Structure 1
């Protein structure tokens, strides 16, 4: 008799990791024993310190929030799990009591996956456990506890100096060039030359690897006259070979090569020399894999002396970004790494430009990143937004000094454009005289925007108030910040203008909960996730921290988290906004990688039902925070 319930569960799970890594029969075996749990809003599935269950969980419908409890007993939301998300995997990974509390965010259906059965059908599936360990680190991560943060990232996830690439499967050469044990060295050498390879695996009749010949062997044993070129390969090959299975990680491969002082690993069907050869992993393969990690990329950037080299290094970060997203690395970790890389690219572009200038700078200056780079939220290539502040000079020297920095800025922006960052269509770049000024001129500019707000001033404020020092004299940036906050303390009208601007894009859902899409032009029927969802959150977070005189926090989700700290009564709303922003940014980035564009325009018809539900769930806190702004800044009739 058919088990229709198990079939429906299996059909749902197969679209989500790690279940999409399982064979159909194994997935059905798990689905047969899944428990279905119904939760009302506010129901608790498990609590902090509760004895671990015999299950881990998958959200079928609705949402389940994970909360951390601080030493005072206050709870802080860490994450919201949507349809297809797994959580509660601590018992599966390390058999410990729960560190977080799981509470239904709304009416929800949850699948409880029996751990024993899951382990029995996945015990040899390395990719499943890589995903689960990453997911565990992501869900267990507690942003409020440095000790927990350190423990998780040391034990399960890398930091910027020891990258996630170490836990990825090593890419080896499949179908390697081989020779039989009765072949002569001359025959082997001709083959190596023909295929441009540095080693040759010697195999027996069953294609089991019995030895390896390298270029060093030919140099040390043939060129020196120890053996004639006509000798059989078995006389000079290194034997026995060192082997491993196809799913070994880069880290494991490195350790094995170091332990045995070798440069090549044989990849066999069962990982031993007593099975068929299916590939070879060289030291070069390992180094190539390790080259796509933050430390290596940053080193490449620092060594770059030409824009072409800089472009190559920065484009490696795109592969890194995709890898991180595929492995469900926490977005906060991704943002920190890509932001470091973007800033390093800009710094190097400035250094290269300075070398091309005929003379050193006449005075000190500060290069400021604006917009998404200024907020450290620039994951994909986008257009440039930057400005330059230089020291005050005598009036008769101003034009000459400004011209120097305009020429420098043109070289920098040209270099960044070659790297992949488009020129700003609105010309909001340091190469524009309007955005390349002395510190006094910049102070006057911000004072004018704040004290005499109008639509143009507010538009520019949305870009220029998110500045971040990249290169040069940081005291200039600090001096400008001090002047801005001093002026902000003299007016409340400016905040009302910013509030009105934050409300210009209302909730992205219409009256019947349908998505509001573009109505005409090339973008017709597409959903603009940047302007309808992300920008309202960005604008709101900026307004709130400015009104609270909060300095040094530019990132949108960090701004909301700071507001949760400052206003405990609204903590849940602010934490929901922080989560929504990260979820939306991650979605936009994935779409951009998928379609090789900015990701801001989304074809809703190409999304799954679950993806649409996740998007809609992010819009609720946006609606709620906008309603809050109306009251806080008296915007109803403004």
Structure 2
């Protein structure tokens, strides 16, 4: 006859991870050894520096506070565990004493799970092990921690993670580290001699070890051998500039897409993926082995050949299928984002090209199409609103409105076709077809100067959007000039940063006082959770503010910004890495929800979520609270009201 108490315990455990990942017979075996413990309010379960127990715990009823000691040795609650939450995992991972206090916040019943019984399942079941590792890393404050990722610390046993073999096109591409570099004033003949001697097909032109240009054997053949440039000239006369740069870890697929998009056959590898840091290596088309079967490069070729908006729409649907497959294969979000960004960007570029062809007259002056918002940050995985703007070259006053009329006509055609492809119109009309966002370079500079000087709430919001832009088509010199101007007027403007900080705090941590999710209170989205407003935007705003404070250009992606901040501020490395992890996790979660419900994934019905999903979200929200506390202290800001 079965033990009725053990059956009830097993039934309870079966509803919560990691126990829900076990078989019924395994659950019943564990339940038979569980110790049921009752704690009155204020009772200590374990204390900081206390020797670890032979159990870890799960709350059956009530609530448990996890506390750390503040600077004044006063306890500070950093998390609250309620029904189904596990805590006290340190004995599974480390033999040091407890680092936190665990105190019953109210009358509570807690199940103590024996390590001796449970540990074999954690080691043999990768899903159980992964969940416990992430939970422990989160309680250690940093869910991105490498120290505990990949194994349970034990004397003789490690967890063998059952990771799926990476798709070939998502494997890192081979990087040539022994590249040839020359100064801009190097004689072309000397550079060509070096290339021949070293048997390489290119040289990188550098200043202070930073790449400013690249010259290939094709350039020398077409420009020098034809007599267009004398062989005695300087290498800077034939170099391609600016250089397309990436950091190490570039995948085969991403390299293929980038080369096709920019019509190049070499990519420069630098320390942080921008031209602002030292050259680390080079990737050439020759180094790429094209994978067999389905490949995003096929989609890129189809986009570049597409002769109608209808075809581009069909290709965009295929991108969603590719995206879904990558998510199911647990491909790292950074790789997924890079690939989908390049495909989205190519779609925008092809749409603009076709619209220019359809207008009878050529473009009157050079221009640049700027993608804003999530596409500008390389975070747009789903079909969301299109946010864009256009900057064109300065023209004489008498030609200004005529020139603007041309680009408004072009922008109207482009935005209409992007809408057909699947990118909804921006409800706020923040699109290049709006005369407010179709300006000459001088007008844009004047506009930004006004926004920064005025620093009202509306101006701050507009500035935030335009700090996250990426050029999708046109002359990069225009956007570079605009970017330089923005950083010039921000230099020393602490008041503007303080106002930006207040805006970054306008959406506080999305958990209520009792750890419940804060949902919409009225309207058609009543009782739904807004993951964009309450989860993704606070991290996006924080990363933007802090990277602007350091005056770092050319990095717009939120997780990449936090990773750069971790390098710039080693003392805050842990929290910045946690923010980078949380940003990727929330975007991935929203994307999965959007694909599941065939929408933009922004509003979520919490009743549809599993306990495991809710735990993962709460883990990310703890990070939001911590980064906002850092901003409050650094900028002496308060939550925006």
TM-score, reference length from structure 2: 0.62
**1:433 aligned partner:** 435
Deviation digits for residues 119-141 of structure 1 (CA, Å, limit 9, x no counterpart): 9xxxxxxxx96x54459x99x99
Partner of 1:371: 373
Instruction: Give 1:334's aligned residue.
Output: 336
Cα RMSD for the two superposed structures: 4.4
Cα distance in 1 for partners of 2:442, 2:256 equals: 44
User: Is the CA contact 2:510–2:518 (under 8 Å) kept in the aligned structure 1?
Assistant: yes
Q: How far off is 1:37 after superposition? A: 6.8
Contact 1:392 1:440 in 2 (8 A): yes
1:300 aligns with 2:302: yes
Matched ranges for 1:43-58 at <5 A: 45=93, 57-58=129-130
Change (3 A) 1:358 1:612: same
Q: 2-side partners of 1:298 and 1:312: how far apart?
A: 13
Separation (CA, whole Å) in 2 of partners of 1:327 and 1:10 = 31
Deviation at 1:532, TM superposition (A): 1.0
2:540 aligned partner: 538
Structure 1 position 452, deviation (Å): 1.4
Quote the residue 1:63 is aligned against.
135
Separation of aligned partners in 1, 2:393 and 2:256: 40
**Larger CA Rg, structure 1 vs 2:** 1
Residues of 1 paired with 2:399 and 2:492: CA distance? 33
Matched, 1:416 2:396: no
Encode CA deviations 1:225-267: one digit per residue, 9 max, x unaligned: xxxxxxxxxxxxxxxxxxxxxxxxxxxxxxxxxxxxxxxxxxx
Q: CA deviation at 1:61?
A: 9.0
Q: Is the CA contact (8 Å cut-off) linking 1:534 and 1:584 kept in structure 2?
A: yes
Check whether the contact 2:444–2:482 (CA below 8 A) recurs between aligned residues.
yes
Name structure 2 gaps, 5 residues minimum: 35-53, 57-86, 96-121, 178-245, 258-290
Specify the alignment match of 2:106 in structure 1.
none
Deviation of 1:394 after TM superposition, in Å, equals 0.5
- CA-to-partner distance for each residue in 1:196-217, whole Å, 9 max, x for gaps? xxxxxxxxxxxxxxxxxxxxxx
Matched, 1:400 2:402: yes
Deviations 1:174-195 (A, max 9, x none): xxxxxxxxxxxxxxxxxxxxxx
Residue 312 of structure 1 and its aligned partner are, at CA, apart by 0.9
Q: Which residue of 2 aligns with 1:102?
A: 148
Distance 2:319 2:639 in 1: 47
Taking a change above 3 Å as real, the CA distance of residues 598 and 44 of structure 1, as seen in their structure-2 partners, is same
Segments of structure 1 that go 5 or more residues without pairing to the other structure are: 48-52, 67-74, 81-99, 120-127, 164-285
SS in 2 for 1:513: coil
Alignment match of 1:455 (pick from 442, 448, 457): 457
CA spacing shift, 1:400–1:133, aligned 2, 3 Å: same
Count how many residue pairs are aligned between Structure 1 and Structure 2.
Answer: 453
SS state at 1:317 partner = helix
- Cα deviation per residue 1:55-92 (whole Å; 9 max; x = unaligned)? 552435971339xxxxxxxx996836xxxxxxxxxxxx
- Give the alignment partner of residue 502 of structure 1, picking from 498, 504, 511: 504
1:478 corresponding residue in structure 2: 480
Task: Give the conservation status (yes or no) of the 8 Å contact 1:58–1:111.
Answer: no
Quote the offset at 1:339 in angstroms. Answer: 0.5
Match of 1:357 among 356, 359, 366: 359
The CA distance in 2 between the partners of 1:561 and 1:380, in whole Å, is: 24
For residues 262-298 of structure 1, the C-alpha deviation after alignment (integer angstroms, 9 at most, x for no partner) is: xxxxxxxxxxxxxxxxxxxxxxxx99xx45x311111
Aligned partners of 1:104 and 1:411: how far apart in 2? 51
Does structure 2 conserve the Cα–Cα contact (< 8 Å) formed by 1:44 and 1:103?
no
TM-superposed CA distance for 1:611, in Å, is 1.1
